[in-house]
Each structure stands twice: as structure tokens, then as C-alpha cells.
Amino acid sequence: MGWLGDMLQERQKKQRLHQWALTVHDHLASQVLKLAASGSLELKDGFELRFELMVLAVTSCLFRLHKQGEEESQEKLAALWEITFEGLEYSLRERGVNDIRIAARMRRLFQDATGRRNAYLTAWQDGDGQGLRAAIARNVLNGAAREDPRMDLLEEFLLGVKQQIALD
């Protein structure tokens, strides 16, 4: 196959990867919206709660992809993380954040999300259930105790995400 065929093949691969990430993201967003709107977490449904839940849900998928260890899994990991931020930017723009403020706001969201992702991934990789509960309680439940009964709802949420989202 010549250079043109290689280029077309690479483009098709990127399109499939983008479509996969978009499908997973949309499903995660649907689950996040459902949990946030249910009121069961006893937190105000708004951008901040949805952001925290989305980062948690995406990170659980990233961890599963990372465990697969294949090159394609690493590409999926990057695509899902990227599409997540495209969704966050879209959400901010829908809320009226203008072009002048969007870069600063996205930079802050990226920093926050990366820190949370790293805390969750480290706890999952180390098998540290208590550390994971502490990170989730701190970030999602605004510093609640690890024993907070809402933690059970979040564990059910993550289990549902794991069962309902095919990562292959």
C-alpha cells in the first residue's frame, strides 16, 4: 500500500477511535447526569458535582484501559481523556463562559481533573480501598467522612459504569 493508502488507513483509525471515545463519553455523561439529578447524593446538582462525577467515572474507565496494557488501549485512554475535556469545554460555553475566560477555566479544570485522576489511579493501582474512599469523599462529597453512607451510592455508580461500558 502506498503513502496515500497508509494516510487513509490512519485517518480511518483515528475516526474509529474518536467515535469510540465519543460513545463511551456520552454513556458516562448520561450516567453522571442521572446520578446528579437524582438528589441521592444530597448535593446541589450543578457543574461542580457533574465535573467531579465525570472525572471519577472516566478515571475508572482509564484504569481498566491501563490494565489492558495494549498499544490500542493507550490510544483509547488518550482519546477518552481528550473527549472528556471537549465535553467540559462545550458545557462551559453552554453556560455562557466567554472566549476570554475559557482558557483559564479549562486550564484550572485540567489541573483539578489531573490531580483527582492521579489520586484515584494510585489508590486503584495500589489496591488501597480506604485511600480511594478518602479521595472520593474529599473530592465528590466535599470532604465527607469515608464512612458516609453516600459512599455506597458512589460505589454502586462505579460498579454500574464498569458493567455497562464496554471498553473493547
**Tens-place pLDDT, residues 12-31:** 889 999 999 999 999 999 99
What sections of 47-98 are H helices per DSSP? 47-68, 71-94
What are the distances in angstroms from CA 43 to CA 32, 35, 89, 118? 13, 11, 23, 24
Give pLDDT, residue 168: 58
CA angle 53, 58, 163 (to 5 degrees): 95
Buried b or exposed e, range 85-113, using 16+ CB within 10 angstroms: eebbbebbeeeebeeeeeeeeeeebeeeb
Tell me how far apart the alpha carbons of residues 92 and 111 are, in angstroms, rounded to a whole number: 16
- Structural domain boundaries, residue 111: 3-164
Predicted local confidence at residue 1, as pLDDT: 62
pLDDT (0 to 100) of residue 2? 80
- Where is average pLDDT lowest: 31-45, 71-85, 99-113? 71-85
Tell me what percent of the residues of the chain surpass a pLDDT of 90. Answer: 70
Q: How many domains does the chain have?
A: 1
Span 108-128, average pLDDT: 95
pTM listed for this prediction: 0.89
| Dihedrals phi, psi of 97, to nearest 5 degrees | -70, 125
Query: pLDDT class for 167, splitting at 50, 70, 90?
Result: low
Confidence band of 9 (pLDDT split at 50, 70, 90) = confident
pLDDT digits (tens, 9 = 90+) for 31-40: 999 999 999 9
